[in-house]
Chains A and B, each alone.
Chain A
Amino acid sequence: IHTTAQLKMDFAHQLLVHVRDYYVTLPLCYQNHHPPLSRPQLSLQSRPLHLLWRVVSTVHDLCMEPVHLSWVLMIIQDHALTVSLFCFLPFSFFSLSLSRARCRSLMQTPGGPAPASLKVPSHTPYLLIGGGTASFAAARSIRARDPGAKVLIVTDEPDPPYMRPPLSKELWFSNDPSVTETLRFKQWNGKERSIYFQPPSFYINAEELDGAENGGVAVLTGKKVVHMDVRGNKIKLDDDTEISYDKCLIATGGVPRNLQVIERAGEEVMKKTTLFRKIEDFKSLDKVSRNIKSITIIGGGFLGSELACALGRRSTEYDLEVVQMFPEKGNMGKVLPEYLSNWTTEKVKSEGVKVISEALVKSVVCKDDKLEIKLKDGRLVKTDHIVAAVGLEPNVDLAKSAGLEVDSDFGGFRVNAELQARSNIWVAGDAACFYDIRLGRRRVEHHDHAVVSGRLAGENMTGANKPYWHQSMFWSDLGPDVGYEAIGIVDSSLPTVGVFAKATAKDTPKAATEKSGTGIRSESETEDTAISPVASLTPAPNVGQHKDEYGKGVIFYLRDKVVVGIILWNVFNRMPIARKIIKDGEEHADLNEVAKLFNIHDD
C-alpha cells in the first residue's frame, strides 16, 4: 500500500525523469557545446535547464514541503526558472488522480526513412524546402507558435532531419560496432541519443497532413524541389508533383566543394574520393577506413581537422596512416591567429596525424590502385583514399526559377535582417546570406546558426518580424585536451588580442575522468609541464613561441577597435559573457580588463 506521500513522490519522480529526459537532453540543446568528451561540463547556455533539473531534484528530495521550496527558490536567480519551477512542481499534486503508467522506456529505434507517402498534399500552409537542422528548427518554431500548424518538410535525402556535428565527432568515438546503423552517440552527460532530432513517431505521414486535426510535421523524403513559382506560390518536385504553399522556407544547405584537380582526374580517382557531409558519407568513410592502409584528408578547416583527429585516433588500432594536407601554415589557419594555429597543429599531430602544411595539390592520378597526389612544390604523397574537406557550396539551385537574389560576395540567397527573401519566402541555415545588424552581412555555416536562424525564420513565418539578433556560436574539439567555443566573426586576418592563463607549476590539467567510456583514450596524457615563471619573463622571440603553453584563455577579434569575434579557448560555460560583449559592440581600451570578465583561471 502506498502512502499519499509515496504516490506524490512517485509521480513527481516520473515527472522529473520526464523533465530531465525531455528538457535536459532536448535535441536542439545540442547547440550547446560540450567540452572534449574527457571533461564534461555544463554549458551556460543550457544553464536554466540544468538548474531546473537540479533544483527540481533537490526539491524532490526535500519532499516539496513548502518551506523547502521557498528556500530553494531563493537560491535561484533566473526569473524564468523560478516561474517554470512553480509551474512544473505542482503537477505532482495531480498524481493522485492520474493513473501511473509505467511503460518501459523504449530504446530509440534508429530513424529510418519516414514512411513513404503515396499521396502528397497539393497544398500546405507551411512548406520547408530542405530537411536539415535549420528546417527542423523552423518546424518546431512554427508548431510552437501557430497552434495546429501543418508543416511539410521536403528533402532529397532519404533520412528525416538529423544533426551533423556527430558525423565528424562523436560517432567516430563510439565503442559500439553497430554505430553506423544505430547512429547513436554518447552525450557529455553520459546519456546516449540518436543523431536524429526526433524518432519517426514524432512526424505524421504527408498524406495525413491535410486531415490532421492538430496539424503536425510531415517529412517527404527522397524528393527534390526543382522549380519554384513565386508568383503562383507553388513549387514543383522532381516527379512533377506540384505543391502550393502559404509560407515557404528555403533551407537547402549546401554541397561539399571539390578540388578541380580531382574532378578532372577521372573516375578512378573520384571513386577513391569522399566528399563528406551526409549520413551516407559517414557510413561509407567508416567502411573504407577499415580496409585501407592510408587515407589523406585535404583541407585544414573544421571538418578536415576533426575528421583527421577522428581517423588519427583509429590509426594505431587499424594500422592506418592518416595524412592531412592544406595550403595554410597550420590547422584552422583561416580561423586561429598564427601562433595558436601552429600550436593546434602540434596537437593534431599528436593525435596520430601526419600533417603536411603549405600544400597545394597540383594533380592526382590513380596508379596501381593507389592514388598519387602531387603537390606544387614537388612533394609526392601516395595514399589509398582521399577525403576532400575544402568548403561548402551553398545550394541556390532554386534562385533562377524563383527569381531570388544570390549574393556575389558570400554566396547563398540574399535575405534581409529578418531572413526574408521575398514576401512569403524565408531562407535559413547554410544557404542564407543575411544581414546581421551588429556584424554586417554574412553567411554562416555552423550548426548553432542553423538552429538559431531556423528558429527565427519559423518565428517570422508566424508573424514575429524579429531580426537576427541572438548571436549563434560554434565549437570544435581537437582531441581530448583541446576544445574551444567561438562566437561572431572569427577570421585570422583580423587583428587579435589573446589573453591566456599563465601556466604555473601548479597548473597541470586534470586527467580525463569518468565520461570517457566512448573509446577515447581514457586518460589524457598530461600536457607538457608548464614553463617556469622565470623563463617566460625573458622574451626569446624565436624560441618563446614553442615554449608557451596556450592551455586556456580568451581571444578577441577586432574590427576597427571593436570586438567582433571571441574564441573561448579551453574555457567553458562562459558563452553568455562573450555574446554580451559582441552585442554591446563597444570599443574597449584595455582588453585585458574585458578578459577578466571570463575568469579564465577558474575551472
Chain B
Amino acid sequence: MSYCRQEGKDRIIFVTKEDHEAPSNAELVADDPNDPYEEQGLILPNGDINWNCPCLGGMASGPCGSQFKEAFSCFHYSKEEVKGSECIDNFRNMQECMQRYPELYPQEEDKESSQAEASSSSVSAAPTEGSALPPETDSTPATSTSESAVSSDSTSLIDNQTAS
C-alpha cells in the first residue's frame, strides 16, 4: 500500500513495487516524427545525412572532416550492388588523413584493445525495456575469434550466442 504525506507545499508518496505494477494511465502527447524543432538522428527525414548528429562525435568537424563527409556521403547515396564499392578512393583518403592524426583517430593494437574492451564490456549494462540483445560477451580481438570467423555454420553461432 502506498503511503502519502504532506509537508507544507511538498507532497511525498512512498510506493511499493506492487503499487506501481498496474500500467500507468498518464497520457502522453503523441510525438510528431517530422517536428523540425526536435533533435534529429543520423539520417534526416528527407534522407540526407545529419552531419551534426551527436553520434558522429567530431568526425565531421575535425581535421579529416571533409574526407569523412565525402566518404560517407558517397557510401550513403551509392546505388551499387555492393554498396559503396565505387567509394574506395574516398575511404582511402579518409583513412590516410586519419592516420596523420593518431591522437584523434586512435588505432589500437589488439592487446591494448582487449584490455580496453575488458573494461568497456561492463559498459553494456542490462538493456532497458524492449531491447532483447544477447547477453554481454567480451568482444575478443580478431585473432582469437579466427575459429568462429572461419566457421560457416551460422545456426550454431546463433545458438552459441544465446546460450552464453
**A interacts with B:** yes
B interface footprint on A1-17 (CB within 8 Å = 1, 0 otherwise): 00101101110111011
A479 on the B face (CB < 8 A): no
Q: In the complex the two chains form, what is the Cα distance from A17 to B119 in whole Å? A: 13
Using known A-B contacts A10-B142, A204-B63, determine if residue A536 contacts B102 with beta carbons closer than 8 Å: no
Interface residues on B, range: 35 or more
Using known A-B contacts A61-B148, A339-B12, A502-B16, determine if residue A584 contacts B29 with beta carbons closer than 8 Å: yes
Instruction: Flag if A23 contacts B52 (CB, 8 Å).
Output: no
List, in ascending order, chain A residues with CB within 8 A of B88's CB.
94, 97-98
A596 on the B face (CB < 8 A): yes
Give the contacts of B137-164 with A (CB-CB under 8 A): 137, 139-142, 145-146, 148-151, 154, 157-158, 161
Instruction: Flag if B9 contacts A496 (CB, 8 Å).
Output: yes
Stretch from A79-87, A265-273, A285-293, A371-379 that touches the partner: A79-87
Instruction: Flag if B29 contacts A586 (CB, 8 Å).
Output: yes
Contact of A44 among B107, B128, B142 (CB under 8 A): B128
Query: What's the minimum C-beta distance from A347 to chain B, rounded to whole angstroms?
Result: 18
B interface footprint on A409-442 (CB within 8 Å = 1, 0 otherwise): 0000000000000000000000000000000000
Using known A-B contacts A22-B57, A60-B139, A584-B28, determine if residue A544 contacts B5 with beta carbons closer than 8 Å: yes
Instruction: Flag if B11 contacts A497 (CB, 8 Å).
Output: yes
List, in ascending order, chain A residues with CB within 8 A of B116's CB.
17, 21, 191
List, in ascending order, chain B residues with CB within 8 A of A58's CB.
133-134, 137, 161
Instruction: Flag if A42 contacts B123 (CB, 8 Å).
Output: yes
Contact of A144 among B56, B141, B150 (CB under 8 A): B56
Interface residues on A, range: 35 or more
List, in ascending order, chain A residues with CB within 8 A of B157's CB.
62-63, 65, 68
Instruction: Flag if B122 contacts A23 (CB, 8 Å).
Output: no
B92 on the A face (CB < 8 A): yes
Instruction: Flag if B61 contacts A143 (CB, 8 Å).
Output: yes
What number of residue pairs across chains A and B have CB atoms under 8 A from each other?
A: 333
Instruction: Flag if A189 contacts B123 (CB, 8 Å).
Output: yes
Using known A-B contacts A62-B161, A87-B76, A144-B60, determine if residue A49 contacts B37 with beta carbons closer than 8 Å: no
Query: What's the minimum C-beta distance from B28 to chain A, rounded to whole angstroms?
Result: 6
Instruction: Flag if A502 contacts B14 (CB, 8 Å).
Output: yes
Instruction: Flag if B58 contacts A470 (CB, 8 Å).
Output: no
Query: What's the minimum C-beta distance from B151 to chain A, rounded to whole angstroms?
Result: 8
A interface footprint on B57-73 (CB within 8 Å = 1, 0 otherwise): 11111110110010010
Give the contacts of B56-105 with A (CB-CB under 8 A): 56-63, 65-66, 69, 72, 75-76, 82-85, 88, 91-92, 95, 99, 101-105
Q: In the complex the two chains form, what is the Cα distance from A190 to B119 in whole Å? A: 6
Instruction: Flag if A68 contacts B158 (CB, 8 Å).
Output: yes
Using known A-B contacts A42-B123, A596-B24, determine if residue A144 contacts B101 with beta carbons closer than 8 Å: no
Using known A-B contacts A9-B142, A140-B58, A201-B101, determine if residue A42 contacts B125 with beta carbons closer than 8 Å: yes
B interface footprint on A387-407 (CB within 8 Å = 1, 0 otherwise): 000000000000000000000
Instruction: Flag if B107 contacts A17 (CB, 8 Å).
Output: yes
Query: What's the minimum C-beta distance from A242 to chain B, rounded to whole angstroms?
Result: 27
Q: In the complex the two chains form, what is the Cα distance from A581 to B24 in whole Å? A: 13
Which of chain A's residues has its CB closest to B22's CB?
Answer: A596
Using known A-B contacts A13-B113, A65-B154, A536-B3, determine if residue A106 contacts B106 with beta carbons closer than 8 Å: yes
A77 on the B face (CB < 8 A): yes
List, in ascending order, chain A residues with CB within 8 A of B53's CB.
80
Give the contacts of A568-603 with B (CB-CB under 8 A): 573, 580-581, 583-584, 586, 588, 590, 592-597, 599-601, 603
Stretch from A24-32, A114-122, A174-182 that touches the partner: A24-32
Q: Other than the known A17-B116, A189-B123, what 18 A-B pairs have Cβ atoms closer than 8 Å? A: A9-B146, A10-B142, A44-B128, A63-B149, A68-B154, A84-B55, A93-B84, A104-B109, A148-B66, A198-B62, A466-B36, A497-B12, A500-B14, A573-B125, A586-B29, A588-B26, A594-B24, A599-B129
> Footprint of B on A, CB under 8 Å?
3, 5-6, 8-10, 12-14, 16-18, 20-24, 26-29, 40-42, 44, 47-55, 57-58, 60-63, 65, 67-68, 71, 75-81, 83-84, 87, 90-91, 93-94, 97-98, 101-106, 108-109, 139-145, 147-148, 189-191, 198-199, 201-202, 204, 214, 216-217, 337-339, 455, 458-459, 466-467, 469-470, 494-502, 504, 514-515, 533, 536-537, 539, 541, 544-545, 548, 573, 580-581, 583-584, 586, 588, 590, 592-597, 599-601, 603
Q: List 19 A-B contacts (CB under 8 A).
A: A3-B150, A9-B146, A17-B107, A42-B123, A48-B41, A52-B55, A53-B123, A58-B133, A61-B140, A68-B158, A93-B85, A98-B88, A98-B92, A103-B102, A106-B103, A189-B119, A190-B119, A201-B101, A597-B28
